[in-house]
Structure 1
Amino acid sequence: MPGLVNALVIAAVAAIVIARQFRARAIDTDRRWWLLPVILAAVALREPGVLDAHHRVESAALLAVELLIGLATGVGWGWTTRIWTAPDGVLWTKSTKASIAVWAVGLALRAGVFALGSALGLHQDSSALMLGLAGTLLVRGVILARRVRSADAVSPPAPAYGADEQPAWKERV
């Protein structure tokens, strides 16, 4: 049953994260963006089935490949996410079509790793997928945090007081 629970957790987290990232939203720099990846990694590592007991070397190699794919997906996602500054100085973010391509390639590579493991007769647990997702989210968060800091450093100065006010409507007589 833990495999089913892990699969449901992975699907729910991925759906929530992906849905949120493809909508424009203000970046909260005080948010603890690293908390969700740490929780996912802790949940994945608590399971004893991360490595196949009969094929430790092969399953460790597949786990390493899964983590590399997750990290690469996080890098690609972090760099393809659009960041801009609104006129009021608030930073906004939204994933792009290139981000969809990064996710599609990452999922295809993960499916290939799973198929390879199945062909080799390895027992594969959902914990490896959860660790890969945690790595993806963590690396993406690091890259976005760095990009936000650099965007903050080069953002234009705030407009003068009253510069953003709209002129009053003229009354018609």
Structure 2
Amino acid sequence: MNAFTDVLVVAAVVVLVVQRQMRVQRLDSERRFWLLPLILGVLALRDPQIIDHHHTGLSAALLAAGLLTVLAMGSVWGWTVRLWRDTDGSVLAKGTKATMAAWGGMIAVRIGLYGIGSALHVHQSGSALMLGMAVMLLVRSLVVNWRARMLEPAERTAVAR
């Protein structure tokens, strides 16, 4: 895929994920939450230009910085999601204003990293953005699923009220 297509795929995923995140959803612990990140990751890693071969060290450093950043942002994003148990015991989730702020922060950081790369004349592939999205979605899902497992069962929650 070319950079324009990569950016379009990432933009479509962002719109889909944010739209879904901001409404109440029932968490399905059996759902394959890792499938979309896996697909995005494979598509991204197939690009031989994910690293600028004219600036290998700088390009790899920018990619690593981007991936470390999205690891942190995915974790933050996972902690901003509101989780609770429904009366039937299922876990419900909904994004909050902090979730939107985490998205804004992630976008600002990505723009900053892109600006640094541009200033250093490092070619930055759209695949790096796609790989970052894959890592962030996977980390976010891992955090949310872990938090959901830690919720008290519905019986104890109902008694505590």
Q: TM-score, normalised by structure 2?
A: 0.93
Partner of 1:76: 76
Letter of the 1:69 counterpart: T
Within 2, Cα distance between the matches of 1:107 and 1:45?
21
Letter of the 1:78 counterpart: G
Within 2, Cα distance between the matches of 1:77 and 1:128?
20
Partner of 2:153: 155
Q: CA deviation at 1:90?
A: 1.6
Partner of 1:130: 130
Within 1, Cα distance between the matches of 2:47 and 2:154?
49
Does structure 1 retain, via aligned residues, the 8 Å contact 2:86–2:154? no
Q: CA deviation at 1:156?
A: 3.0
The 5-angstrom pairing of residues 1-150 of structure 1 reads 2-150=2-150
Give the 3-state SS of the residue equivalent to 1:83 in structure 2.
strand
Greater Rg over alpha carbons, structure: 1
Give the 3-state SS of the residue equivalent to 2:49 in structure 1.
helix
Q: CA deviation at 1:60?
A: 0.2
Within 2, Cα distance between the matches of 1:73 and 1:19?
18
Letter of the 1:20 counterpart: R
Q: CA deviation at 1:155?
A: 1.6
Letter of the 2:118 counterpart: S
Partner of 2:159: none
Within 1, Cα distance between the matches of 2:78 and 2:15?
17
What percentage of aligned pairs have identical amino acids? Answer: 47
Cα deviation per residue 1:108-145 (whole Å; 9 max; x = unaligned)?
01100000000000111111111111111000111111
Structure with bigger helix share is 2
Q: TM-score, normalised by structure 1?
A: 0.87
Unaligned segments of structure 1, at least 5 residues = 159-173
Give the 3-state SS of the residue equivalent to 1:144 in structure 2.
helix
Within 2, Cα distance between the matches of 1:3 and 1:139?
24
Letter of the 2:154 counterpart: P
Q: CA deviation at 1:157?
A: 2.2
Within 2, Cα distance between the matches of 1:119 and 1:27?
43
Within 2, Cα distance between the matches of 1:138 and 1:5?
22
Q: Which runs of at least 4 in structure 1 moved beyond 6 Å after TM superposition? A: none
Q: CA RMSD of the aligned region, Å?
A: 1.2
